[in-house]
């Protein structure tokens, strides 16, 4: 359910509009639910189940943040849960702290560990991350079992007291459950609101395509660390309330099997939504109770269901519900909005070259992809980089962008040495980029994709969400896709996706725009439209475009200057007229004149 | 017991246990090389092989080597099932769904076996009935020698396969660029199926050889699998020699750590080694950093 | 969505409560591991209880009423145990409970049990369980404090060995046992020369065994809960040439351990609470169990059998099913000969105060002697 509507609609109203009418009574029922035990007697069994569900759910919500929103694997969630639980257990029983103090200690501790795990992503991602988190989980298990002087070892900690609120001890299960429900609902609300914030969008961008996010200006490492820290903090909260709820904890409650359980709950319900996380938790706590008659088969079915979920409903039950809803609901029509014209002019008219490359070398082992290239790009021009396939063009661009660190040489953007800067830092200085093989955020709408571009640091727009939205809509309007703002980009045709990518780069109000084969894959008509677009960009004051292309006609019609490279070295440079008749250039593309004639 | 024979015994015990890790990680590396998938159910292949052997040899009372053969056949069939049930439906998705799927498969396998055979561990016959050999106060268990031998043979076989046969080249091509391999006429789906079949059989063989030492139970795979992963990372992700060296190194580090520092924390040394490698040299001892083409 | 499930749950709870209102049976609750890794021992527990139940019912029941068993699954984990107990509490008419055999599950259940206010007989051996001051726990097996005393007594006084190597798992059972054994040895004037812990499911015990050799131990005492660990340890022990006497916790003499360790376990001693050859009651019980269930019983079933009889006896003795009366009845039980031994509950709720020593005689478990201590006053 992606946000819609005009740029000037307030954030709250927009959130409200995301709730379809039939859901409202369900939400009200849920709000009333925790009060029911005071009116209607429930067995302690039922109360126990709910207590377990609500505390587990908070931990599973943590997984929703790190896995669902940010796409990072975390198999140590039970360890973070355990840190919170032990903080309360040890804190109240061994160190004489109050529950609330112990809770804070627990959250700080689990967040700290979560932060550390997040920092490991600086080096590793993907499958390595899975292994690192498993190893962390095992280490936690290990330490808690063996460091008996600290943790009381396998005996665990008994007699954990309930917290007291305003002097009243919450010994009554119903009151405690109410407290847990309040915490749970607060977390659900916060997580529901999160995806619509800058941080939320950054997280989703990292999940969808980390490289594109980094290049578009998202500080991906910071986002991942925040995601892990938040995930661990939530698990710590859940663990703390779990400990005080059940009065007894032991290490075997917080082991790898529990981590897998949390993961399955997140996946079953739908890791990308807080409601999904809640549904998954409740289901997987109630199911074993209801399916007791299945006995041994239950656990095997559990494992099988994980596979089936991944194959048939990767977005979980919530994803199924949303998909069903989208089929039933009338598609929301984008209200006709007036968007201001996209501002692309760059204020400065400093005559110095905006981009200067000095003796750039990029060697991959023995392969010299870029072998000593010097070039300068003047502000406000369109500068093309051409060369036969494999000549090192894209590698050069990737180095300029910051994706690769050059073997040697320097890069200056506006006289600042940016050679050592990460891509997101270059984006913060006004560098925009599109990719040869389009890198968008597939599950996000066109508008959200472009908004990620608009929220790059130092973008000269007003503060606030409304300004971001406005800028993004302007950019979409500029490329002619305003009416597709709400469409998920994976549903857009190739040509339109290319345009969205350009819009995303433009939304960041770039000074220097890198385009890597923008015409690749476009048909004749689309290419013509692209040329028109490029000319409009060229007309913007002060905007510099640096593009790689193969289509010579296109280059001739837009480029001011061309640099030709072959085998990683520059072989010609000048105006199109000069370069395209240069004998070496012709030889590079077509072979020696003697061969060409024969 | 003098200092030297003490250390040699510790060393050999480390190599012995490390050989278990190495053998299990061989199949793991193969799957990684061909499909880029980390198979969290690899340890359970070993468990399955051990139970298949148990059924053939101890329950059906078939001759020893025939039982091994039949057990491997069963594992081969299971490899096909695994390929089409767990990997194939997710082959075009990112690594995360597949990884989670293999986790689910592991749980499924363990609990199905638990339901069928019960939780009691069972013994399994060794290849050679002799206990082992003793040299200068140092004892070498015969089964461990078999494991080392089989591991070496498997490595040699895999090396030969990958470097000197057309099938091996096709497998390598599939792993490096599946689409391109398809375009040049390689039946990639079949290549991947072969990979899973072979890995399942190799994993099963590991279980058959390890079962006599660690006994056959549904939990036998758990810790071993984790250590096998660590071995592949330490040795170099995707490198066969690396997996072997990594496994042996891990075993030796654990053994000496236990002997000289602390026995209960033995596993922690393994983790520490893993952490150090992951943070300092994630490509492992022999691995290469493969940059993603932007 | 949530409200519908809530209604269903409430419905179930009410239905359960309603169904069980028949006042012509005396209900005994049973929490056992029916699913999960420990399911097999759970099955034995239920069998033992059922055997006792049927015997009592055939003989006319208790106070003219028949006994009824309500079995709840603990799922082999702490949460499941608490839920199982909660379900019994929800039934509302449970007279007494035969609880779990796992000490950590009992710990988890303790707060719920206190609120429920019904006596529970337990099979867990962690000595700490009866030291928490919970008046509702009654142990129908000897605790590890006694196991350690018996091991120490047998090794020092009967075998005459004083240089002990203690090898133990680092889990609750192993660590508790180790602590108790160290204390017991100290009381007998024998200092252990080696105390070595290891993590359960270790693949290789070489460093441990080398340490035993280097320490020059002349006897080994172990608390190893897992059979595979026992199997590997015993095999490697013999491979590395260690043949000193070995007195271990009960897992050394179980059928599974003997299957795994085979010759390596010949000649070892173990403590056991249930031993067919130890007394007449055990002998009869073994025969009865084998006849009905076609397998040999073990301690998982025997204590449950005793527990049901103990409950029946207590009800008969006080002529009531009220918890307070039952509590008093248990505490005044003296000299009742159960399968596990002769019961006399001390003020902490421990019913048995000694263990049998058994020996693995070339694959057959033979009874050596019983070592018991006077209950704490």
A579 with A550, same domain: the answer is yes
Going by C-alpha positions, the residue among A539, A530, A463, A467 that lies closest to residue A503 is A530
Residue A172's SS3 state is coil
A553 with A521, same domain: the answer is yes
Query: Would an 8 Å CB–CB cutoff place B213 in contact with chain C?
Result: yes
A505 with A521, same domain: the answer is no
Return d(Cα C50, Cα C45) in angstroms, integer.
Answer: 9
Residue A264 covered by a domain: no
**Beta strand segments in A50-155, E:** none
How many Cα atoms within 13 Å fall on the side-chain side of residue C325?
12
Q: Which residues of B211-227 are buried (b: 16+ CB within 10 A; e: fewer)?
A: bbbbbbbbbbbbbbbbb
Q: Is the model's pLDDT at A5 over the cut of 60?
A: no
SS3 for C84-111, per residue?
HHHHHHHHCCEEEEECCCCHHHHHHHHH
Residue A302 covered by a domain: no
- CB contact under 8 Å between C37 and B119, yes or no, is yes
The distance of A311 to chain B (nearest Cα, Å) reads 6
- CB contact under 8 Å between B259 and C207, yes or no, is yes
Query: Would an 8 Å CB–CB cutoff place B278 in contact with chain A?
Result: yes
Return d(Cα B102, Cα B98) in angstroms, integer.
Answer: 6
Q: Which residues of A touch B90 (CB under 8 A)?
A: 310-311
Q: Which of A205, A221, A254 is the last residue of a domain?
A: A254
User: Tokens 């790898």 map to which residue?
Assistant: A256
User: pLDDT at position C17, please?
Assistant: 45
Over residues C91-137, the pLDDT tens digits come to 888 999 999 998 889 988 998 899 889 999 999 988 889 988 899 99
Q: State which residue of chain C sits closest to B114, comparing Cα positions.
A: C37
Q: Which two tokens stand for residue A568?
A: 């990683």
The pairing of strands A544-548 and A367-377 is: unpaired
DSSP-assigned letter for residue A531: H
CA–chain centroid gap for A276, Å, is 18
The predicted complex's ipTM stands at 0.85
State residue A480 phi and psi, 5-degree precision.
Answer: 85, 20
Give the C window 62-81 contacts with A, CB below 8 Å: 73, 75, 77-80
Which of A248, A281, A298 has the most C C-beta neighbours within 10 Å, making it the best mutation to test the interface with C? A248
Chains interfacing with B (3 or more CB pairs < 8 Å):
A, C
State residue B152 phi and psi, 5-degree precision.
Answer: -60, -45
State residue A434 phi and psi, 5-degree precision.
Answer: -120, 160
Strand order in the sheet with A367-377: A367-377, A355-364, A408-413, A416-417
Going by C-alpha positions, the residue among A288, A102, A157, A304 that lies closest to residue C79 is A288
Residue among C203, C206, C262 minimizing CB distance to B9: C206
**For chain C, which domains are there?**
2-142+279-345 (3.40.50.2300), 145-272+357-372 (3.40.50.2300)
Chains interfacing with A (3 or more CB pairs < 8 Å):
B, C
User: pLDDT at position A4, please?
Assistant: 44
Q: Which two tokens stand for residue C69?
A: 């068993």
Q: Which residues of C25-54 are buried (b: 16+ CB within 10 A; e: fewer)?
A: bbbbbbbbbbbbbbbebbbbbbbbbbbbbe
A70 with A122, same domain: the answer is yes
Task: Give the ranges where B165-214 is alpha helix by DSSP (H).
Answer: 166-176, 178-183, 188-214
Give the B window 116-135 contacts with A, CB below 8 Å: none
- CB contact under 8 Å between C198 and B263, yes or no, is yes
A443 with A390, same domain: the answer is no
**Cβ(A514)–Cβ(A432) below 8 Å:** yes
User: pLDDT at position A177, please?
Assistant: 92
Over residues A120-174, the pLDDT tens digits come to 887 777 777 887 888 889 889 888 887 878 888 877 898 899 998 888 888 888 8
Q: Which of A202, A223, A254 is the last residue of a domain?
A: A254
Residue A1 covered by a domain: no
Return d(Cα B249, Cα B292) in angstroms, integer.
Answer: 29
Return d(Cα A510, Cα A542) in angstroms, integer.
Answer: 10
Q: Which of A239, A254, A269 is the last residue of a domain?
A: A254
**Cβ(C272)–Cβ(C355) below 8 Å:** yes
Residue among A124, A146, A307 minimizing CB distance to B101: A307
Q: Which helix (H) or strand (E) element contains residue C25?
A: strand C25-32
Residue A369 covered by a domain: yes
A487 with A380, same domain: the answer is no
Q: Which two tokens stand for residue A200?
A: 């939320």
- CB contact under 8 Å between B263 and C196, yes or no, is yes
- CB contact under 8 Å between C86 and A33, yes or no, is no
**Cβ(A161)–Cβ(A96) below 8 Å:** no
Q: Is C283 exposed, middle or buried (0-12, 13-18, 19+ CB in 10 A)?
A: middle
- CB contact under 8 Å between B99 and A132, yes or no, is no
A589 with A461, same domain: the answer is no
- CB contact under 8 Å between A135 and B230, yes or no, is yes
Q: How far is CA C157 from CA C154, C345, C371, in A?
A: 6, 27, 11
In this structure, chain C runs to a length of 377
**Cβ(B152)–Cβ(B15) below 8 Å:** no
Over residues B173-228, the pLDDT tens digits come to 887 777 888 888 888 889 899 999 999 999 999 999 999 988 998 888 777 888 88
Residues 6+ apart with CB under 8 A from C7: none
pTM of the model: 0.84
User: pLDDT at position C151, please?
Assistant: 94
**Mean pLDDT across the stretch B247-254?**
92
Residues of chain C with pLDDT under 70: 1-23, 376-377
Residue A303 covered by a domain: no
Q: Which residues of C touch B255 (CB under 8 A)?
A: 204, 206-207
User: pLDDT at position A596, please?
Assistant: 44
A417 with A441, same domain: the answer is no
Residue A277 covered by a domain: no
A366 with A449, same domain: the answer is no
Dihedral over Cα of B94, B96, B102, B107: its sign: negative
Instruction: Look at C377 and A438; give whichever has higher pLDDT.
Output: A438
Residue A259 covered by a domain: no
User: pLDDT at position A331, please?
Assistant: 63
Q: Which helix (H) or strand (E) element contains residue C165?
A: strand C164-169
Q: Which two tokens stand for residue A437?
A: 């093989």
Q: Is the model's pLDDT at B133 over the cut of 90?
A: no
Q: State which residue of chain B sits closest to A435, comparing Cα positions.
A: B294
Q: How far is CA A5 from CA A329, A386, A445, A470, B43, in A?
A: 17, 42, 13, 11, 53
A363 with A418, same domain: the answer is yes
Residue A50 covered by a domain: yes
Going by C-alpha positions, the residue among B255, B236, B254 that lies closest to residue B246 is B236
User: Tokens 């049976």 map to which residue?
Assistant: C25
DSSP line for C186-204: HHTT---SEEEEE-SS-S-
Looking at A62-71, A509-518, B82-91, B259-268, which range is the least confident one? Answer: B259-268
Looking at A179-188, A344-353, A543-552, B66-75, which range is the least confident one? Answer: A344-353
- Highest mean pLDDT: which of A205-214, B146-155, B163-172, C37-46? A205-214
- CB contact under 8 Å between C13 and A298, yes or no, is no
- CB contact under 8 Å between A138 and B229, yes or no, is no
- CB contact under 8 Å between A267 and B100, yes or no, is yes
- CB contact under 8 Å between B121 and C227, yes or no, is yes
Return d(Cα A320, Cα B281) in angstroms, integer.
Answer: 42
Q: Is the model's pLDDT at A21 over the cut of 90?
A: no
What is the average pLDDT score of chain B? 86
**Total number of domains constituting chain A:** 3
User: pLDDT at position A295, please?
Assistant: 62
Going by C-alpha positions, the residue among B10, B137, B215, B141 that lies closest to residue C232 is B215
Return d(Cα C55, Cα C273) in angstroms, integer.
Answer: 22
Dihedral over Cα of B121, B40, B108, B188: its sign: negative
**Mean pLDDT across the stretch A511-524?**
91
- CB contact under 8 Å between B1 and C210, yes or no, is yes
A234 with A102, same domain: the answer is yes
Looking at A220-229, A346-355, A547-556, C165-174, which range is the least confident one? Answer: A346-355
Domain around A503: 431-510
Return d(Cα C128, Cα C189) in angstroms, integer.
Answer: 24
Q: Which two tokens stand for residue A361?
A: 């070398």
The distance of B93 to chain C (nearest Cα, Å) reads 32
Q: Which residues of C touch A148 (CB under 8 A)?
A: 175
For helices A77-89 and A256-269, the axis angle rounded to 10 degrees is 120
Find the CATH number of the domain harbouring A395. 3.40.50.300
Dihedral class, residue C160 (left if φ above 0, else alpha if ψ from -120 to 50, else beta): left
Over residues A76-127, the pLDDT tens digits come to 999 999 999 999 999 999 999 999 999 999 999 999 999 998 988 877 777 7
Task: Give the ranges where A250-389 is alpha helix by DSSP (H).
Answer: 256-269, 274-290, 296-312, 316-328
Residues 6+ apart with CB under 8 A from C91: C16, C17, C20, C27, C29, C70
How many Cα atoms within 13 Å fall on the side-chain side of residue C35?
21
A377 with A439, same domain: the answer is no
User: pLDDT at position A14, please?
Assistant: 65
Dihedral over Cα of B206, B212, B214, B216: its sign: positive
How many Cα atoms within 13 Å fall on the side-chain side of residue B156?
6
User: pLDDT at position C11, please?
Assistant: 45
């Amino acid at each position: 359910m992606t946000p819609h509507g005009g740029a000037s609609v307030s954030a709250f109203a927009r959130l409200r509009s995301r709730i379809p009418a039939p859901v409202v009574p369900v939400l009200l029922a849920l709000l009333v639910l925790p009060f029911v035990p005071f009116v209607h007697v429930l067995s302690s069994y039922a109360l126990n189940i709910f207590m377990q569900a609500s505390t587990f759910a908070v931990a599973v919500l943590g997984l929703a943040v790190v896995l669902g929103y940010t796409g990072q694997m975390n198999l140590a969630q039970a360890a973070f849960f355990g840190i919170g639980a032990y903080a309360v257990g040890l804190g109240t029983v061994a160190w004489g702290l109050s529950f609330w103090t112990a809770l804070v200690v627990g959250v700080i501790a689990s967040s700290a560990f979560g932060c550390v795990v997040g920092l490991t992503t600086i080096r590793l991602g993907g499958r390595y991350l899975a292994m690192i988190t498993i190893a962390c989980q095992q280490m936690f298990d290990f330490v808690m079992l063996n460091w008996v002087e600290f943790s009381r070892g396998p005996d665990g900690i008994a007699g954990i007291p309930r917290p007291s609120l305003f002097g009243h001890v919450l010994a009554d299960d119903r009151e405690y459950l109410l407290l847990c429900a309040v915490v749970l609902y607060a977390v659900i609300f916060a997580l529901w609101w999160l995806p619509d914030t800058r941080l939320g969008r950054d997280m989703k961008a990292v999940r969808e395509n980390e490289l594109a996010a980094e290049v578009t200006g998202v500080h991906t490492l910071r986002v991942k660390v925040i995601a892990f820290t938040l995930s661990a903090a939530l698990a710590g909260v859940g663990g703390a309330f779990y400990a005080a709820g059940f009065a007894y904890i032991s290490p075997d409650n917080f082991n790898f099997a529990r981590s897998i359980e949390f993961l399955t709950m997140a996946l079953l319900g739908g890791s990308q939504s807080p409601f999904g996380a809640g549904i998954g938790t409740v289901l997987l706590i109630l199911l074993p109770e209801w399916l007791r008659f299945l006995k041994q088969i239950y656990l095997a079915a559990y494992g099988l269901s994980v596979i089936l979920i991944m194959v048939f409903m990767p977005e979980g039950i919530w994803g199924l519900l949303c998909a069903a809803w989208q089929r039933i609901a009338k598609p929301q029509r984008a209200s006709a909005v007036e968007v201001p014209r996209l501002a692309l002019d760059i204020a400065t008219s400093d005559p110095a070259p905006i981009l200067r490359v000095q003796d750039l070398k990029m060697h991959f082992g023995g392969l010299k992809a870029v072998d000593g290239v010097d070039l300068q790009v003047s502000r406000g021009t369109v500068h093309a980089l051409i060369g036969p396939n494999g000549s090192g063009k894209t590698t050069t661009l990737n180095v300029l962008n910051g994706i690769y660190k050059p073997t040697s040489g320097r890069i200056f953007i506006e006289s600042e040495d940016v050679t050592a800067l990460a891509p997101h830092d270059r984006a913060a200085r006004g560098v925009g980029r599109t990719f040869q093989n389009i890198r968008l955020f597939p599950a996000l709408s066109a508008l959200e994709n472009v908004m990620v571009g608009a929220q790059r640091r130092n973008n000269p727009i007003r503060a606030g969400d409304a300004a971001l939205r406005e800028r993004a809509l302007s950019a979409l309007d500029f490329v002619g896709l305003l009416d597709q703002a709400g469409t998920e980009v994976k549903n857009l045709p190739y040509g339109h996706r290319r345009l969205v990518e350009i819009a995303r780069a433009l939304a960041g109000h770039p000074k220097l725009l890198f385009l890597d084969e923008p015409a690749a894959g476009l048909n004749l008509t689309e290419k013509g439209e692209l040329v028109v677009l490029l000319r409009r960009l060229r007309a913007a004051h002060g905007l510099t475009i640096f593009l790689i292309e193969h289509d010579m006609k296109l280059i001739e019609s837009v480029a001011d200057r061309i640099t030709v490279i072959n085998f990683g070295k520059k072989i010609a440079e000048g105006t199109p007229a000069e370069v395209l008749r240069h004998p070496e250039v012709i030889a590079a593309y077509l072979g020696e004149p003697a061969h060409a004639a024969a | 017991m003098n200092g030297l024979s003490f250390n040699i015994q510790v060393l050999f015990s480390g190599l012995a246990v490390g050989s278990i890790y190495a053998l299990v990680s061989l199949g793991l590396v193969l799957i990684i090389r061909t499909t880029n998938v980390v198979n969290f159910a690899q340890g359970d292949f070993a468990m399955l092989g051990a139970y298949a052997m148990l059924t053939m040899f101890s329950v059906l009372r078939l001759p020893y080597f025939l039982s091994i053969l039949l057990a491997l056949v069963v594992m081969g069939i299971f490899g096909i099932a695994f390929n089409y049930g767990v990997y194939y439906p997710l082959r075009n998705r990112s690594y995360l769904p597949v990884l989670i799927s293999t986790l689910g498969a592991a749980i499924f396998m363990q609990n199905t076996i638990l339901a069928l055979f019960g939780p009691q561990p069972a013994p399994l016959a060794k290849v050679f009935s002799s206990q082992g050999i003793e040299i200068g106060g140092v004892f070498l268990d015969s089964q461990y020698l078999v494991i080392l031998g089989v591991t070496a043979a498997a490595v040699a076989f895999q090396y030969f396969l990958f470097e000197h046969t057309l099938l091996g080249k096709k497998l390598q091509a599939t792993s490096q660029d599946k689409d391109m391999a398809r375009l040049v006429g390689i039946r990639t789906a079949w290549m991947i199926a072969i990979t899973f079949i072979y890995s399942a059989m190799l994993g099963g063989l590991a279980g058959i050889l390890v079962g006599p030492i660690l006994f056959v139970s549904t939990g036998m795979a758990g810790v071993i699998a984790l250590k096998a992963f660590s071995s592949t990372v330490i040795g170099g992700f995707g490198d066969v020699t690396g997996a072997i060296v990594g496994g042996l190194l891990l075993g030796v580090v654990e053994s000496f750590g236990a002997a000289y520092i602390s026995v209960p924390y033995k596993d922690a040394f393994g983790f520490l080694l893993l952490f150090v490698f992951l943070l300092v040299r994630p490509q492992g001892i022999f691995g290469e950093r493969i940059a993603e083409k932007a | 969505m949530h409200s519908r499930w809530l209604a269903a749950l409430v419905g179930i709870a009410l239905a359960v409560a309603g169904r069980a209102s028949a006042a012509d049976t005396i209900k005994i609750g049973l929490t056992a591991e029916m699913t999960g890794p420990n399911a097999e021992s759970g099955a034995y527990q239920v069998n033992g209880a059922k055997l006792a139940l049927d015997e009592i019912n055939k003989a006319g029941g208790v106070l003219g009423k028949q006994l009824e068993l309500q079995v709840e699954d603990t799922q082999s984990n702490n949460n499941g145990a608490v839920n199982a107990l909660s379900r019994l509490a929800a039934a509302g008419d449970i007279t007494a409970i035969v609880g779990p055999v796992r000490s950590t599950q009992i710990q988890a259940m303790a707060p719920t049990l206190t609120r429920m206010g019904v006596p529970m007989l337990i099979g867990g051996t962690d000595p700490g369980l009866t030291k928490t001051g919970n008046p509702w726990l009654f142990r129908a097996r000897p605790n590890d404090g006694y196991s350690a005393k018996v091991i120490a007594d047998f090794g020092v006084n009967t075998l005459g060995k004083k240089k002990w190597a203690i090898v133990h798992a680092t889990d609750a059972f192993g660590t508790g046992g180790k602590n108790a054994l160290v204390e017991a040895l100290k009381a007998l004037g024998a200092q252990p020369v080696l105390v070595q812990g290891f993590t359960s499911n270790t693949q290789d015990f070489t460093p441990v065994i080398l340490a035993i050799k280097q320490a020059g131990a002349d006897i080994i005492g172990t608390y190893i809960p897992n059979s595979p660990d026992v199997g590997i340890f015993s095999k490697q022990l013999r491979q590395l040439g260690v043949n000193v006497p070995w007195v271990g916790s009960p897992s050394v003499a179980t059928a599974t351990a003997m299957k795994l360790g085979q010759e390596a376990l010949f000649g070892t001693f173990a403590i056991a609470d249930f031993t067919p050859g130890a007394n007449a009651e055990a002998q009869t019980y073994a025969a009865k169990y084998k006849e009905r269930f076609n397998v040999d019983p073990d301690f998982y079933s025997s204590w449950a059998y005793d527990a049901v009889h103990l409950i029946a006896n207590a009800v008969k003795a006080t002529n009531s099913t009220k918890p307070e009366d039952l509590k008093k009845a248990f505490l005044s039980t003296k000299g009742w000969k159960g399968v596990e031994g002769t019961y006399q509950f001390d003020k902490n709720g421990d019913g048995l105060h000694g263990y049998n020593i058994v020996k693995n005689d070339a694959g057959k478990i033979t009874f050596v002697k019983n070592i018991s201590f006077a209950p704490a006053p």
